[in-house]
Amino acid sequence: MTTSGTTPTPTNAPVFDEDPYSPEILADPIPFQRRLLEAGPVAYLSRYGVHVLARYDSVKAALSNWQDLISGDGVGLNEPWRTTGLLESDPPRHDAPRDVLAGIMSARVLRSMTDECVREAELVIDAIIADHGSGTTVTFDGQRDIGAVLPVKFFGEAAGIDGTENMIPYADHVFNVGGPRNELAIKGEATAPALAEWAEHACQRESLKPRGFGSDIWAAADRGDIRHDQAALLTRSLVSAGIDTTVGSLSALLYAFAANPEAWDAVRADPALARVAFDELLRWESPVQMDFRKTATEVTFGDTTIPAGERVMICFGAANRDPRRWENPDKFDLSRDPSGHLAFGMGIHQCVGQHAARLQAECLVRVLTDRFTSIELAGPVVRHLNNTLRGWESIPLKAVVA
């Protein structure tokens, strides 16, 4: 709840004593985010001593102002726990690595991989039909059988990285330590050293497959586009940022279709709506719920000035459901124009791997609408709790084979 301000705080912003990292709020952050949205352009989280930006206009302004709200001191609640890479850098250190990765993972490059991605999606869906079908009905788990499978198969191969079974647990821990050292962060500490060792080894030139995004990064270092000491860190960004967010968004897309049959019927009638459906899903779900910036100088939002040297929470989930920007924001609605959502960020740190996520979503929808006539929920869904991501543990589904 919002406090009355009886305890002195270093701000004139509305003060919240609720814990956004509590299991209850992580499982269902929307009610808390609504309260943040109503409070004003900026609020203050007393438990962590940080300001939070939730409204669309505030978040958009912050993401666009990389000069005053920097990433170079880390994008989590606390100081960085590992050697920082692309996400935790500012210009000029940020520029060359991003340019390299943007070229390697451009829309043109990803479009050239469409047939390969469709084949992977077909293999995944056809295996589900073969293994879980009974007559014309198939029961399966959208998270375990599709969401957690297709990105690892397709993107793991495209990246050219061995040990793909480590990708999801490694990324899960990376995003958990972006929050406080709570139970979620602590539970990963036992396996973190082994996973970190795997990531460091897997991203070295000699460990990568000859063809893939990883080897392309090292080739860029050979050309002098980036330094060789940057190549492994840039390859690591494929592992930490390229998997769990896509796992969550593909799983959420399946849930959205099952929970909103009119949307499924619309996409099945017109598969070209797949791109709109994915963008609306990203707005509606916001797989990355929050991250942080640090003020390099005083910044002002509304009537509140945040001093230099302070961490500021950026709440993507709230911004993407701000009723000041979106009509009926809690509805998954394919008739709206979802462009302008902030799920991929904005500005110089906008997600450089978004074309890979888009390709997988569109190919998955193409195969789903070809193989199934209907998808519906077959039981209660279970959320996977993470300090940064909005994910899934289980999405029981039932589908009718076309």
Cβ–Cβ under 8 Å, residues 53 and 323: no
The predicted structure's pLDDT at residue 7: 47
Biggest alpha carbon–alpha carbon distance for the chain: 66
Q: Which residues, other chains included, contact 300 with Cβ-Cβ below 8 Å and sequence gap of 6+? A: 306
The predicted structure's pLDDT at residue 393: 98
Secondary structure (3-state) at 391: strand
Cβ–Cβ under 8 Å, residues 318 and 380: no
pLDDT digit string, tens, across residues 9-34: 678 999 999 999 999 999 999 999 99
Secondary structure (3-state) at 31: helix
How far apart CA 391 and CA 158 sit, in angstroms, is: 23
- Bridge partners of 70, per DSSP, are 294
- Provide the residue ranges of all domains of the chain, joining segments of one domain with +: 15-401
The predicted structure's pLDDT at residue 133: 80
* This prediction's pTM: 0.94
Phi–psi pair at 343, nearest 5 degrees: -65, -30
Amino acid type, 231: A
Peptide bond into 329 cis (omega under 30): no
The predicted structure's pLDDT at residue 6: 41
Architecture of domain 15-401: Orthogonal Bundle (1.10)
pLDDT digit string, tens, across residues 78-116: 877 666 778 888 898 999 999 999 999 999 999 999 999
pLDDT along the chain (402 residues), means of 10: 50 96 98 98 97 99 97 88 77 93 97 98 97 90 98 95 94 95 95 94 95 97 96 90 91 98 97 96 98 97 96 99 98 98 95 96 98 98 98 98 94
